[in-house]
Structure 1
Amino acid sequence: MKLLIGTQQSPVASEVLARMAIVRPILMGLLTGIKQDVLDELGGMGNMKLFMLPRAYRQGCGDVGFCFEWAIHDAIRRQDPMVMERLTDASKRCNLNGSSFQSILFGVEKSGKTRIIDTANELLTDDSRILTGAQAQPPKLKTYMNMLASSFHRPETRASLPSSINGLWKADLFFGATDTDRWLGTTLKINAKQLEGAKGLRIGIVPATQGASDKIHKDDSKNLIICPIPYDGSFMELFYTGWRIVQQFISADAKLPAAVELPAPADRQVAKELEMRRDFPIFDVVKALEAQSQTDLLTETQREVDVFRLREGDNVLNDLLISPVASHTGDLKI
């Protein structure tokens, strides 16, 4: 499986150019999320035209949250200090010792069609253990990975899990220290109100709420160490702006939305650029917009990650995921 990562490299120099830079990976993310049989009917992924996106795309309530999970996962792997400082402090409260921290993605496509596990074979060993907080020998994580994956869609499998981790299948990623070979079940929610605890989960990651304290704290009702990721009006705001432009463009049948739907001049300019190219394949549109977007805002890298694939009917996870990731240098001004 290939992961395409857009990483913020520079401060925003232009509202329009910055929006174009972030809209490109959003369009690609939506395209790759369309069912394969639908793409086949439309001539394949490389030939699907932009005006067909409103007809083929079916919005899912977890689309934004899924990108949030991948962004946090990649920030840990890149050792982004904005995320790592928060998570290392949270992990200390879970008695995770070590100094070389990493992430193993254990994600669910929110439509429920497929499940993926970034196995990170180079990270897990036969003695990798998951810290549960229970007064007992921590279970070996690698032993239960396949069973945890099956438990999401097969409730009968959950009965076979040790009682200390019988809710660990709800994890979105495992945060751990490779030098001590110990890991923590971690759940992420872009909406903090949807955060749920379960046996085996130790950390809950959410965006910081404006006006509320962003201190790391324990939620006794969920038995989770809550780790808010600061929201500073920078990258996340830009990401949501790009998301809004694309969603309104789709709602307007791939045409310029009404002024009340996109009142900001910069937003409307980006929508106009999309409308002018509605008769071209999405791949070509994304490529064309690259030349007139702020090309140094995002740098794209592509890397292979190991995954297990579990079929749900005939649906199989696409081979490409796109996730924009914020840089820790500079603020975005939008």
Structure 2
Amino acid sequence: MDLREEIQRNAVADEVQALIAVVIPVLKGTLFAIKREAVEDAGGIERLLLRQLPRTYRAGDGDCGISFEYAVHDAVVHGNADVVNRIQDALQRHCRIRQGDPSSLLFGVEKTGALQLIDSVKENLTSESRLLSGSKGQPVKLKKHIDSVAAAFRRRSVRETLPSCISGLWKADLFLGSTETDQWVGTTVKINPRSLEGAPGLRVAVVPSQEGRSDQIRRDNGKNLVVVPLPYDGAFMEVFYQGWQIVQQFIAADAQLPKEVALPRAADRQVCRMLVERRDFPVVDVLAALAPLAQPELLETQEEEASVDYRRGESSQTNILVAPQASSQF
């Protein structure tokens, strides 16, 4: 088996590349916040053009939160040190997931395209994937219950059939964990820390840091949550809000470059200009086109042969394993 290890070598040196990296998940969140009927009227999600976003998207109170969920997920998947290092600390110190680099599975059953998200989670779980909830006893097998958890979001009657240790798991936005140990924790991601709700099935909460409160990872025993605040100054939250601002101003300007007063920073205007140049293309194609422009130097790939024994059903057929590894220097 080829073991491919992706190691974060450098801090983000280019502001434009850092902004592109966060604009991608913000655009995804915006796309999935559009009502299903509006997407269908535009010919389906694959055909929705970037210039059609202003006419199909209607701003809502939870839209920033949805984009934040996508941004946190992307940050873990792509090895953003600001996020990965803190997630890894929480998983190792508080959740007893002590091996492997952090991985993220996007869940979020309340969003448009929920069935696709659920299918994606199921495809990345094995029959031995365990959910660690912090309660005593043998952890449940997550894949066995995932359909019921999704159904429980909409039907109260289904909630009563779930094991008590995973009650409330339908509120999860992500499953964070390790593919190496095949252990996962239900994770809630909230842009407003005051909106945090605990549940037996949830274990980790990712929130922005709050003024006047420590940025340290902490346990909230009352909510059964390990709270992971993400920092602002020159770090992830600051870049996220810049990316959110770029997308919102782009939409407000009818998919054109807004006036300088709306985006006075040169880097913000440059990223917005990239969107304007691609306004006549489908959103999904634009997202794919922007991906190579986002922090290409962030990860360095090292390959080596390794003997790995997988006893996880179909995953034994895997030929390449890709694992992001954050640098401890940042």
What TM-score comes out, normalization by structure 1 length?
0.66
Q: CA deviation at 1:150?
A: 0.8
Matches within 5 A, 1:165-314: 165-255=166-256, 257=258, 260-264=261-265, 267=268, 280-281=280-281, 286=286, 295=293, 297=295
Say whether residues 1:73 and 2:94 are aligned partners: no
Distance in structure 2 (CA, Å) of the matches to 1:101 and 1:330: 16
**8 Å contact from structure 1 (residues 97, 177) kept in 2:** yes
Could you tell me which residue of structure 2 aligns to residue 131 of structure 1?
Answer: 132
Deviations, residues 51-91 of structure 1 (Å, cap 9, x unaligned):
54322222343334334334433444556554343233323
Q: Which amino acid aligns with 2:99?
A: S
Q: Which amino acid aligns with 2:156?
A: P
Distance in structure 1 (CA, Å) of the matches to 2:44 and 2:139: 47
Secondary structure of the residue aligned to 1:204 is strand
Question: How many residues are matched?
Answer: 295
- Identify the range of structure 1 (268-277 vs 91-100) with the bigger mean alpha-carbon deviation: 268-277
**8 Å contact from structure 1 (residues 19, 267) kept in 2:** yes
Q: CA deviation at 1:163?
A: 1.7
Q: CA deviation at 1:168?
A: 1.6
**Which of residues 116, 119, 122 in structure 1 aligns to 2:121?**
119
Distance in structure 2 (CA, Å) of the matches to 1:79 and 1:51: 31
Could you tell me which residue of structure 2 aligns to residue 162 of structure 1?
Answer: 163
Matches within 5 A, 1:90-129: 90-103=90-103, 105-108=105-108, 111=111, 114-115=114-115, 116-117=117-118, 118-119=120-121, 121=123, 123-126=125-128, 128-129=129-130
The structure-2 alpha-carbon separation of the partners of 1:43 and 1:233, relative to structure 1 and needing over 3 Å to count, comes to: same
**8 Å contact from structure 2 (residues 99, 178) kept in 1:** yes
The structure-2 alpha-carbon separation of the partners of 1:161 and 1:213, relative to structure 1 and needing over 3 Å to count, comes to: same
Report % sequence identity.
42
**8 Å contact from structure 1 (residues 93, 225) kept in 2:** no
Q: CA deviation at 1:159?
A: 0.3
Q: CA deviation at 1:148?
A: 0.7
Gaps of 5+ in 1: 1-6, 301-326
Q: CA deviation at 1:250?
A: 2.3
Gaps of 5+ in 2: 1-7, 299-325
Distance in structure 1 (CA, Å) of the matches to 2:214 and 2:140: 34
Q: CA RMSD in A?
A: 4.4
Secondary structure of the residue aligned to 1:108 is coil
Could you tell me which residue of structure 1 aligns to residue 88 of structure 2?
Answer: 88
Distance in structure 2 (CA, Å) of the matches to 1:106 and 1:285: 20
Q: CA deviation at 1:96?
A: 1.6
Deviations, residues 208-232 of structure 1 (Å, cap 9, x unaligned):
3355311111123322111223334
**8 Å contact from structure 2 (residues 230, 237) kept in 1:** no
Q: Which amino acid aligns with 2:177?
A: G
* Larger fraction in helix: 2
Relative contact order higher in (CA < 8 Å, ≥ 6 apart): 1
